[in-house]
Chains A and B, each alone.
Chain A
Amino acid sequence: MTKLLEVVDLEKRFELHILNEKAIEALRQVSFNVEEGEIVGLTGKTGSGKSTLMKCIYRTYLASRGQIQYYEESGGILDLTSASEHEVLRIRKKEMTYCSQFLQVIPRVPAIDVVASALTARGRSVDEARRITSEILERLSLPKDLWDAYPATFSGGEQQRVNIARAMIARPRLLLVDEPTASLDMKTKDAVIDMLLDLKRNGTSIILITHDEHTLTRMADRSLHLENGRLKEVVYA
């Protein structure tokens, strides 16, 4: 197998200068690898550091210590903890996407364009992007009436599907997903899982945060259990 990501002794400490220099230790000595086409689950109680770890990989959070070596498609290796902003943006645009728990979009942009923009931003034509988007939204059974509506007024489950569609449409090499199935019914949940497994078959590596046993058993090749910011246990499927 080919290595995609290598996390070495990762630590994250939040220093709150505006709260009398209060510090919060969120991650301690976390090390693990992710292979190409592998799905790694992150489990643990709320506050155990799962999202922090994912955000450090995406560079939404700056790591306090340690390395996150990313093996680029071109063969290069980039340490995401210290790479320049420009380099991280390049990887985000071409290879890595992040699907958060909550949808954040420009107001008054129709759902279909929110998703399609992930493709147009990568150089696809508007027509082609909309066509691919339609297929995905259909598979996720998002009602057609909603495609031209603004996601701000959508229900939680509808927003989540727009969010996940946007993250996976460009077929990234590394997909980071935080609770992709939390507010979905069983049928839609399975549709999302099937689509993520399709991506995996095409070589995408996925790091997955979920509290849902069904999602975890169906998807993860391996899960890392976090407790108080430390990696406690690795469970193989």
Chain B
Amino acid sequence: MDEKWLLRVRNLTKIFGEVTPDVCDRTGPQFNSNICPKTGAVVACSNISFDLYPGEVLGIVGESGSGKSTLVQMLYFDSDPTSGEVNFRPIEDGSVNLFELSSQKKRYIRNHLMGMVYQNPRDGLNFRFSSGGNIAEKLLMAGVFHVGNIRIRATELLNHTEVPIKRMDESPVRFSGGMQQRVQIAKAIANNPPLLLLDEVTSGLDVSVQAKVLDLIRRLQDELGISMIVVSHDLGVIRMLTDRTIVLKHGQIVEHGLTDQILQDPQHGYTQLLVSSLL
């Protein structure tokens, strides 16, 4: 029979400002704006729904302000949704809405079952700690307390992400952007999460470093089978990394499909414009 989904997202909505019943009907791509003309409320995400299956890599594309980052921030509990549901298979076999859980339980999910890699390494790393210390922090939160084991695991992870071990006691503040990003990825996967969220992880890196980070992510996916959500405005990154893609505009999904189909046979006018703008 058919495999079961890992993550199920239904009608996820995030509104900044006054929440009126019809605010989602007054915004979106058809109005060419996500700002409600009546109240000025900003609809960052409007009724987003999708399923993610084990081992799948889902891309989320769209221009700046389309709601991509808000979406993953809600999934990682960095931001509360206005409405909507998220079910996650490891939690009660997917039968509960994660947003109704206690903050303690949410923290548990963040620490044990999810990893997040932010665009800015400063959001994901603590620059007052060494790179090894950053990984230790994540492991401690996930309940690993044995110092020796933490050290071994940190070494293993930094090896895996090709960060020189002899620099593991240095703060990542002295690392290059690409290296910081790889420490961040090592930290994010330290607890072997079934779900990894990646928010614009290669933006601002030069192409050779970008290639290395992309290769690392693809390798992790091949070897560990982690499900991933990859947010990017870069269609090249989406093409390299993802199996399926969702296209967001003004907070709404305008199109979803297999990534090669989205890139080669886009159906929506906005996606056609996006793809034809590709260098």
Chain A residues with CB under 8 Å of chain B are 14-18, 55, 58-62, 85-90, 104, 106-109, 117, 120-121, 126
Task: State A55–B268 Cα separation when bound (angstroms).
Answer: 19
- Tell me which of B51, B212, B272 contacts A108 (CB under 8 A): B212
In contact, B211 and A106 (Cβ under 8 angstroms): yes
B56 within 8 A of partner (CB) = yes
Q: A106-B218, A107-B214 are in contact. Are A61 and B243 (CB under 8 A)?
A: no
Q: A89-B56, A108-B211, A108-B215 are in contact. Are A18 and B272 (CB under 8 A)?
A: yes
In contact, A62 and B265 (Cβ under 8 angstroms): yes
In contact, A60 and B211 (Cβ under 8 angstroms): no
- Tell me which of A60, A85, A88, A106 contacts B265 (CB under 8 A): A60
In contact, A62 and B268 (Cβ under 8 angstroms): no
Task: State A61–B207 Cα separation when bound (angstroms).
Answer: 30
In contact, A60 and B215 (Cβ under 8 angstroms): no
Q: A55-B264, A61-B261 are in contact. Are A16 and B211 (CB under 8 A)?
A: no
B206 within 8 A of partner (CB) = no
Which residues of A have CB within 8 Å of B267? Answer: 15, 62
The A-B contact count (CB < 8 A) is 67
**A100 to chain B: closest residue by CB:** B260
Which residues of B have CB within 8 Å of A61? Answer: 261, 264-265
B112 within 8 A of partner (CB) = no
A-B contact sample (9 more), CB < 8 A, given A61-B264, A121-B222:
A18-B273, A55-B264, A59-B261, A60-B264, A87-B2, A89-B243, A89-B258, A90-B3, A117-B222
Minimum CB–CB distance from A118 to chain B (whole Å) comes to 10
Minimum CB–CB distance from A119 to chain B (whole Å) comes to 10
In contact, A60 and B258 (Cβ under 8 angstroms): yes
Task: State A59–B267 Cα separation when bound (angstroms).
Answer: 13
Task: State A90–B1 Cα separation when bound (angstroms).
Answer: 12
Which residues of B have CB within 8 Å of A89? Answer: 56, 243-244, 258
Closest 7 CB pairs of A and B: A17-B269, A107-B211, A61-B265, A108-B211, A60-B260, A18-B272, A85-B244
Minimum CB–CB distance from B107 to chain A (whole Å) comes to 30
